[in-house]
Amino acid sequence: MSKKNIGAHRYVGCMSKTNSNIELPKDARKIVEEYKKLVEKYLNFKSPVDETGAVRAASKRFLIIHTDAFPKTGKELEATLYLNGYNLGRRAAKRLIARFNDMGLPKIEALKLLLAACTCAGFGIFTLGKIEGEEVTIRVYNSAEYDSYMRVYKKHPGRPVCKMIAGILAGAWSEYVGKPCRALEVKCLGKGDKYCEFIVEPII
């Protein structure tokens, strides 16, 4: 996987084309445009993400990730990706919740901004589903992690593979509910589903 550092971000090269079997929200363009405006307003970042939730350049797909997300070098294990994502999601949620609290805005808006930021970073299109008590459902359309897996291994995994995304969601929701949480990827492109879906809940 190719990597390039530009300023404070690391750009990670991924697969170039969107699989025609992958489902996108009917209003994908509208969702992404609203997210881009939200991220530019609150995070002062103008995202190049396209209407499919991907950042592309020179016929390749990229992720825009702060270098803090990759504190280790060498081959990343799935557990490490999840842990890195968890720490990243928790730190980001903590900052955003505090910021929105100072502005007198509900913390759910901070969570929505985090999903917008993930979308604008090129992870895919994140959509907030049902919130039932301390459990939330989040969908990710056109996951970059699945693209990356296919590029590296050149075969369908037959299992969930979006470990960093799961970690980010678990970390963010942990900060939101105030207790350790986990993210279960119940649907994944890697299993043959049309999108990835995560149930995020406290660890019992």
Encode pLDDT of 105-162 as tens digits.
999 999 999 999 999 999 999 999 999 999 999 999 999 999 888 877 888 889 999 9
The domains of the chain are located at 3-69+78-202
pTM across the whole model: 0.77
Write the pLDDT tens digit of every residue in 8-59.
333 344 434 445 578 999 999 999 999 999 999 998 889 999 999 999 887 7
DSSP code for 72: S
CA torsion angle for 66, 165, 161, 136 (degrees, to 10)?
Answer: 180
Options 3.30.1460, 3.30.1380, 1.25.40, 3.40.50; which CATH number does 3-69+78-202 get?
Answer: 3.30.1380
The runs of H, that is alpha helices, within the chain are: 28-43, 78-102, 107-120, 144-153, 163-177
